[in-house]
Structure 1
Amino acid sequence: MLLYTKRVMSKSTLIVVFFALLLMAVATNQVSAHATLESTTPAQNSVVSHPQQIELHYNEPVNTKYSSITIFDDKGKSLGEFKPTNSGTNQTLTFDVGQLDNGTHKVSWHTTSADGHEIQDEFEFSINKKTTSNIDVTPPFYETSNFWFGLFRFITEGSLIVLMGSFLVNSVAKRYQLPTYLAFFSYKPISWILSAMAFITAIIYIMTLSPELVSNIMALDMTALLQAPFLLAMIAIIVLLLLFTLNEMMTIWYIAISLIIIVTLSMSGHVWAQSFPLWSIILRSIHLLGMALWLGGMVYLVWLATTKQLQDIVKVKRFFFKLNLGAVIALVISGVLMAIDETSLAAIWSSVTTWSSLFYVKIIGTILMITLGGYQSFRALTNLQKVNKKVLYCEIIIGIMLVLAGIIMSQIQIPS
C-alpha cells in the first residue's frame, strides 16, 4: 500500500507541477495592459453633423478582432453591430457607420483587454440636434450573463477559500494537538460539488465573451486562450480538486493542493494587467491565504463551540492568537501592496469609483474583523472562558462580504 501511495503521489505530483508551470508560463507571456477608453469621436454628448466614422481611443492597444460597437437610435432601436475597419491590435478603433439619421444616438462598445477581461461601456452623441437626454437600452440585470457569472464566481471562489482555509486550519490545529473535524468531515463530495461549480462558472464566463473569441477558444487557439486566463484558472482548479480527492496520500500532498488552489485563484483577476504579473500573483496569493486562514479559523471556532469541544481554553487562545495575527499581517500588508501595485493611493483617493468605494469597504471591514477578533481572543476566550457566537457569526459575515468585494473589484475597472 505504501509503495502504491508513493507511486500515485509521484504521478500526481507531476500533474500538479505541470499545471503550476503552465499557469506560471501564462503569467510570463501576458502583455501588461488594462485598456480604458480615453476619448471618442464624436465626443460624449456632443452634437455633430453626419459623421461617417466613429473612433474609440484607448490608453493601450486592444484586439480589434474581439471588438465591436452597436448603435441605437433615440427610441432605443438597434441600428446594427459594426466591426472595426482596422485589424490587429490598435490603440484607436475606427468604425464605418455610414449615414445616420438626425437625432441622438447611443453607442454601446465592447472589447477585450490584454488581461482577458471583456470591457464595455456606452456613450451618446447627437447628429444636428439633441432629441433625448438618455437612451436606456440596458436589459434587466438578471438577463445578463455578467450578473450570473459574478454570482457563480462568488459562490465558487468563496467556497474554495473557505474549504481550503478550513483544511489548512485543521492541519495546523492537529499539530497543536487540538480537536479536529477532519475525521468527521468528508472533503471528497464537497470537492466534486465544487468541481461542478467551477465547470458551470467557466461555461457562464464563456457566455460573457465575444462570439469571435469563443470560436477561437473552442478551436484551441493559444492566443485566444491567453486572452481568457480565468478560463484557464477554472480548468486548473477542476483538475486540482480532483487530485484533492485522492485517497491515502501524505498530508503534505493535500496541503500542497490547497495552497496551489489558492495561488490559482489569484490568477483569475487583474494580475495580468500589471507590469510584473508574477509579483501581483504573489501578493494576491498571500492576500487570499490570509482570508482563507481567517475564515477557516472562524469555521473551526464555530465547530468547537457547537460540538462543545472547547476544553483547553489556554491552548485554543494561543492557537487562535497566532492564527489571527498571521492572517491579519498577511491581509493588511498584501492589501496595501496590491493597491499600490494595481493603481496608486493618489488615484484611489482622488477618484470616486465603484472600485475605490469597495477598497474603502474592504479597509473598514478588515478593521472590524480585527476588532471583533481581538474581542474574541482577549475578552470572550480569556475572561468569559467561552466563544461569543454572535461576534463569531458577525466575523464570518464580514469575511464573506470582503470576499464578495474582492471578486467584484477583480471584474471592474481599476482607477488610474
Structure 2
Amino acid sequence: MKKILPVLVLLFAFTVPLAYAHPLIIDSNPKASTNVGAGITQITIHYSEPVDLRFSDIKVIDSSGKQIDNKDTNYLQGDEKALVVTTAPLQNGIYTVTTKVLSKIDGHLPEYAFVFGVGNVELPAQPKQTLQQEIYFPEAAARFPGLVGQVIVLGAAVAILLVWRGARNRKWFKENAEFQKFFHSKFSTLTGIGLFAVFASNIMMLIVQTVRLKASASDVLNTAFGTVWEIRMGITVILLAVWFLLENKTAGSTRKQFLVLGLSLALIGTTTAIGHGAASEQFSAVVIDYAHNLIASIWIGGVIFFGYILLPSFTKLEDSKKELASLLMIPRFSSVILVALGIVIITGPTLLWLIDDDVVQLSQSYYGWLIIGKIAIGSAMVALGGYNQFKIQKPAQSSLDSGIKVYEKLRKSLRTEAMLGIALLGLVALLTNSSLPASQAEQTQLQIPDGFKTFVYSENLKFTLDVNPLKKGTNTISVSVFDLDGNTPKDITELKAKISNPQKNIAPIELPLTKKEDRYEGTVTIGFSGKWEIELNAIRKDNPNESVTLSVLVKPRLSELKTG
C-alpha cells in the first residue's frame, strides 16, 4: 500500500478535466494582424461554442477611436457559433475589432480584441489579454460557496450510506442516546450550512450575471444560463425543505438519505451543465466531468463528514470506546477514498486525451499554474490519508493497549485535510472560470498571419481572393467571382491573374488558374517578403470585362529572420 500512494499522487496530476471554458475565437475574416484590400464591408468571427446574440456584439473602431460599423451584429447565416457585422467600404487604415459574446453553455461573457489593416499600413502589436480577461474572479467567488456546500451535502449523504450505515448498529453507538443526539445535531448543522451556502451562491451567481450583462434578472433568466440556474435553485429549495423536515428526525435514516442523495446528484448535474465538459460539446467529456464532480464530493465531502460530524460525536463515548471507534472508522473511509481515486485515475487521463494533451502549453499559462496548485493540494490530501492509515491506524491496531491517542491525532489530521479540500475547491472555482491554454493558444495563433483572405468589388462583380499560407515560397491561390446578388456569373469565360512587385521593378507575371466548380485555383511562388500586387481580370462574354488590383503584404516568419 505504501508503494501505491506515490503512484496515486503522480496520477492525480493527470486528472484535471480540460475543456473550453469560454467561447474563444477560432477564426475571423479578416484575420488578426493581417492586411487586406480596400472596400471590405463586413467582419465575421467564428467561435468555439454557441453564443447568445442578445448579449453579444462586434464593434469596428477606426484609428481615431470612432465606432464605424453599422451596429447590426447578427448570426452568420443562422450559425450560432459565428457573428457578422457590416460596415461602409473600408478605406486604407488600421482598424480594431472588439467582440463581447455571451456563452450559451457556461454563461461567461468574454471580451476579445484584435487589429487588422486595410492597404499597405504598418500594424501595431496585438493587444494582450489581461489576467482579469483570462480568469473571471467575480464568477469564481460566486460559485465557490456553492461548490463547497454541494460537496458537504452530497459527501455527507454518501458517507452515511456507504460508511456509517454498517457501523452505526454497534451497541455502544446505538444505545448511547447522548451520542445519537449529538451526532444528529452535528449532521443537521453542517448539512444546513452546506445548503445555505449553495442557496447564497445561487443568489450571488445571478447578481454577478446581471452586472456582467447589464440586464435585469428576468432577462438573465431567459438565457440558457438562466434556465440551468432556475433548475439549480429549484433543487436547492427542495433540499432545504427536506432538511427542515428531517431536522427533528433521525439523520441516519436510509430512505431519507437516499432522497437527499438523489437530489444532491441532480444538483451536481447543474454544475456540470455550466462547466468545462458541457462547453466542449462532447458527450463523453460531459459524463467524465460529472464523474469528477461526484468523486470530489465523495472524497472531500467524506473527509469533512468524518472530521466535523462523526469524529466530534465520539467525544460522547467513553475514552476507550472513543479511541476504538476512531480506529474502526479509518479503514472504512480509506476504502471508499481508494475506490474514488481509482475512478479518478481512469477518468482523468481519458478526459485529458479527449480535450487537450499539450503539457508545454499548460505549463506556460495561468491555467497551468492553477493546475499545479491543485496537484500540490491534492497530493497533500493523499499524503495525509496515507499518514492516517500508516502512522495512526497501523501502530495503534498492532498494539491496542499501547496508549496511543488515536482520536486526538486523527482529529488534527482530518481537519487539516478538510481545510486543504476546501482550498482545492477554491482552485476548482478559478479553473472553471478561466480560459484554457487551448483558448489562449488559439488567440495567439490569430495574431500570426497565416494566409490572406479578402474580397474587393469592381463595378458589377465581387472578387474573393484566398492566398495560403502567404509566405516566401510556394503559395496556393483561390479566386471566386460573384455578381452583386451573390450569384456566380454565367458569362465568365476565363479568369486571368497576374502578380507583380513595383517596388522591386518586377513586372506582372501571369498565373495559370484552373476552374474547379465555382472557383479558380492555382499556385504562386513569392521570392521574398514585401508588398505584392495581384491583378484579377474577369473575361466576360455578354458584358464588359472587369478587373481589380489588390495589395498583399507578405511578412517574414520568425524562422526566416537571421542575426549577425
Q: Normalization by structure 1: what TM-score?
A: 0.71
Question: What whole-Å deviation, never above 9, does each CA across 1:42-72 have from its counterpart, x for those lacking one?
Answer: 3233345665322212345555455323455
Matches within 5 A, 1:233-248: 233-247=232-246
Task: Work out which of the residue numbers 239, 257, 260 in structure 2 matches 1:257.
Answer: 260
Shift, 1:379, TM fit: 1.3
1:207 deviates by 1.9
Does the CA-based 8 Å contact 1:358-1:405 persist in structure 2?
A: yes
Q: Using the alignment, how far apart are the partners of 1:328 and 1:100 within structure 2?
A: 65
Residue 193 of structure 2 corresponds to residue 193 of structure 1: no
- Structure 2 match to 1:94: 84
- Does residue 122 of the first structure (1) align with residue 130 of the second (2)? no
Quote the Cα distance in structure 2 between the aligned partners of 1:146 and 1:368: 27
Contact 1:317 1:377 in 2 (8 A): no
Query: Aligned AA for 1:58?
Result: Y
- The secondary structure found in structure 1 opposite 2:31 is coil
Question: Residue 336 and residue 362 in structure 1: after superposition, are their counterparts in 2 closer, same or farther (change >3 A)?
Answer: farther
Kindly state the Cα deviation for residue 125 of structure 1 after the two structures are TM-superposed.
0.8
The equivalent residue for 1:380 is 392
Deviation at 1:375, TM superposition (A): 0.9
Contact preservation (8 Å) 2:100, 2:111:
yes
Residue 368 of structure 1 corresponds to which residue in structure 2? 380
Deviation at 1:150, TM superposition (A): 1.6
Aligned equivalent of 2:100: 109
What is the 5 A alignment of 1:8-407? 35-48=23-36, 51-59=40-48, 62-71=51-60, 83-84=73-74, 86=76, 88-98=78-88, 99=90, 102-103=93-94, 105=96, 107-113=98-104, 115-118=105-108, 120-127=110-117, 129=121, 133=125, 146-166=136-156, 168-169=158-159, 172-173=163-164, 175-177=166-168, 181-185=182-186, 186-187=188-189, 190=193, 193-194=196-197, 196-204=199-207, 206-207=209-210, 210=213, 218=221, 224-225=223-224, 228-247=227-246, 251=253, 252-268=255-271, 269-272=275-278, 273-276=281-284, 277=286, 280-282=289-291, 284-300=293-309, 303=312, 311-312=320-321, 313-334=323-344, 336-338=346-348, 340-341=350-351, 344=354, 347-352=357-362, 353-383=365-395, 384-386=404-406, 387-388=408-409, 391-407=413-429
Question: Which TM-score applies when normalising by structure 2?
Answer: 0.55
With over 3 angstroms needed to count, the CA separation of the structure-2 counterparts of 1:258 and 1:45, relative to structure 1, is: same
Letter in 2 for 1:327: I
Letter in 2 for 1:378: F
Amino acid at match of 2:33: N
Aligned to 2:15: none
Q: Distance in 2 between matches of 1:287 and 1:192?
A: 17
Query: Per the alignment, in what secondary structure is the counterpart of residue 32 of structure 2?
Result: coil
Count the aligned residue pairs.
Answer: 378
- Is 1:409 aligned with 2:412? no
Query: How far apart in 2 are the matches of 1:407 and 1:339?
Result: 21
Distance 1:108 1:35, change over 3 A: closer
Distance 2:298 2:358 in 1: 24
CA RMSD of aligned residues (A): 4.3
Q: Between Structure 1 and Structure 2, which shows a larger proportion of helix residues?
A: 1
Q: Tell me the distance in 1 between the aligned counterparts of 2:425 and 2:86.
A: 43
For CA contacts below 8 A with separation 6 or more, give which structure has more relative contact order. 2
How far apart in 2 are the matches of 1:415 and 1:137? 12
Greater fraction of residues in strand: 2
Deviation at 1:265, TM superposition (A): 2.0
2-side partners of 1:377 and 1:304: how far apart? 21
**CA shift in 2, pair 1:173/1:275, >3 Å:** closer
- State the alpha-carbon separation in 1 of the partners of residues 55 and 216 from structure 2: 6
Please give the secondary structure, in 2, of the residue aligned with 1:267.
helix
Task: Give the drift of 1:108.
Answer: 3.3
Contact 2:57–2:73 (8 Å) recurs in 1: yes
- In the alignment, is the contact (CA less than 8 A) between 1:339 and 1:345 conserved in 2? no
TM superposition shift of 1:245: 1.7
C-alpha contact 2:144 2:201 (8 A) present in aligned 1: no
Identity %: 15
